[in-house]
Structure 1
Amino acid sequence: MAVFRVGWLRRLFGDRGERAAARYLRRQGYRILARQARSRSGEIDLIALDQGTIVFVEVKTRTSHVKGHPAEAVDAAKQRQMTRAALAWLKRRKLLNHRGRFDIVAITWHPGSPPVIEHFKDAFQGTGQGQMYS
Structure 2
Amino acid sequence: MVDQRKNLGKWGEQKAKEYLIKQGYHFITGNWQNRLGEIDLVMKDRETLVFIEVRTKRSHKYGTSIESINEKKQQQMVKMANAFLRYKQWWEIPIRFDVVTIDQHEGVYQLRHHKNVIQ
TM-score between the two structures when normalised by the length of structure 1: 0.83
Matches within 5 A, 1:10-89: 10-89=5-84
Bigger Rg over Cα: 1
- Three-state SS of the structure 1 residue aligned to 2:81 is helix
Runs of 5+ consecutive residues of structure 2 not aligned to the other structure: none
TM-score between the two structures when normalised by the length of structure 2: 0.93
1:121 corresponds to which of 109, 115, 118: 115
- Three-state SS of the structure 2 residue aligned to 1:47 is strand
Which shifted more, 116-125 or 63-72? Answer: 63-72
CA distance in 2, matches of 1:112, 1:86: 34
Structure with the larger strand share = 2
CA distance in 2, matches of 1:94, 1:59: 25
Count, aligned residues? 119
Deviations 1:47-75 (A, max 9, x none): 00001100000000011223211011111
Contact 1:63-1:111 at 8 Å conserved across structures: no
Q: Please report how far the alpha carbon of residue 105 of structure 1 lies from its aligned counterpart in structure 2 after TM superposition.
A: 0.3
Q: Please report how far the alpha carbon of residue 111 of structure 1 lies from its aligned counterpart in structure 2 after TM superposition.
A: 8.2
Q: Please report how far the alpha carbon of residue 124 of structure 1 lies from its aligned counterpart in structure 2 after TM superposition.
A: 1.3
1:129 alignment counterpart: none
* Amino acid across the alignment from 2:10: D
1:92 corresponds to which of 84, 87, 93: 87
* Amino acid across the alignment from 1:13: L
CA distance in 2, matches of 1:82, 1:96: 17
* Amino acid across the alignment from 2:102: I
Runs of 5+ consecutive residues of structure 1 not aligned to the other structure: 1-5, 126-134
Q: Please report how far the alpha carbon of residue 112 of structure 1 lies from its aligned counterpart in structure 2 after TM superposition.
A: 5.4
